[in-house]
Structure 1
């Protein structure tokens, strides 16, 4: 059995960028989750930024500070997980302490632990493993128990990857009832990557 290379988390300071810049800087980074079953990781290829109290699509719109959104008010680099239907979705807290911004990780390109991802997802095509925010969390083993962790320490962390040749952007997905906010071009993806959700 081949040993996995040692992967180091990025420094906490990496997350201290403005939210829209960070949403693009995350593209190409490696999202890693260590569990008892093994390590699974993929390169981030799609993100969506949510801009806090003035963004009607954000959970923290109008400073909605609840038990669910409390972690959004913490320092950048914290893990914000939440349930949507039966899926767990994972976000990077951004924007600075007290500024409840977050970046949804929408898709990753599988890199480590692909066999483990197939076991968890029970799909036949590799493209189906991680091409959506609920798919990637199941494939990597990210759960609601990760809420409140930080992305710069194991077991769930972000590491250096590659710099995309080209980044595209456009409106976010699945937020139809949010007025003009649904048109904001806050979704970013690695151009032409097959794992982008759509």
Structure 2
């Protein structure tokens, strides 16, 4: 992936996780698959803020083999399975600070036909959800779990970055809304992009919410 401008672990620290989650919007998520490089623009993320976040896997300092990646270096991949779906979380902040960003949706860009083939769906259904995007990329295991992103077949590219016209913060999906952190606006979306997981057609923009 030498022709790309790939982020290093330093990208995932040095500022709040909420800011990192927003900075990821518009960057290109790449995967070096057996069929070649596939990928898309990140259009939806969720921030999870560690021990004080009731929705986080590390709430109250919980630590297990399952959540161990959260306690590792920034830029560590946390790939886990939830209800038959594999999800991708990028660890943020220094080691032992268990925060991260869940990648919730991408807009297909690189080898779209392969993404469609992997997913078995077309249109927005290709990658408008965290489990769907992993299927589209062709990642259906945890082999890269605990790897640094720079040591893995995944990458975040800044060279093909696009700038959102508007980033909207809304509550996260699939968390306990009654818990203390349940309604915090920690999900960040590219407003008007059709690949957002719960988007409505009437909100879609012809330019998909990009400035350029």
Please report the TM-score for the alignment, with normalisation by the length of structure 1: 0.93
Equivalent pairs, count: 194
Alpha-carbon distance, 1:162 to partner: 1.8
The superposition leaves residues 168-193 of structure 1 with CA deviations (integer Å, 9 ceiling, x where unpaired) of 01100111265121101100011111
Corresponding residue for residue 170 of structure 1 = 170
Corresponding residue for residue 144 of structure 1 = 142
Equivalent-residue separation in structure 1 for 2:196 and 2:177 (angstroms): 23
Moved more, 111-120 or 6-15: 6-15
Equivalent-residue separation in structure 1 for 2:2 and 2:97 (angstroms): 36
Equivalent-residue separation in structure 2 for 1:153 and 1:25 (angstroms): 21
Inter-CA distance 126–69: structure 2 relative to 1 (3 Å threshold)? same
Inter-CA distance 5–126: structure 2 relative to 1 (3 Å threshold)? farther
Corresponding residue for residue 76 of structure 1 = 74
- The equivalences for 1:48-127 within 5 A come to 48-123=46-121, 125-127=122-124
Equivalent-residue separation in structure 1 for 2:76 and 2:99 (angstroms): 11
Inter-CA distance 178–91: structure 2 relative to 1 (3 Å threshold)? farther
Corresponding residue for residue 132 of structure 1 = 129
5+ long unaligned stretches in structure 2? 199-212
RMSD: 1.6
Question: Is the Cα–Cα contact under 8 Å of residues 177 and 183 in structure 2 kept in the other structure?
Answer: no
Q: Segments of 4+ in structure 1 off by > 6 A? A: none
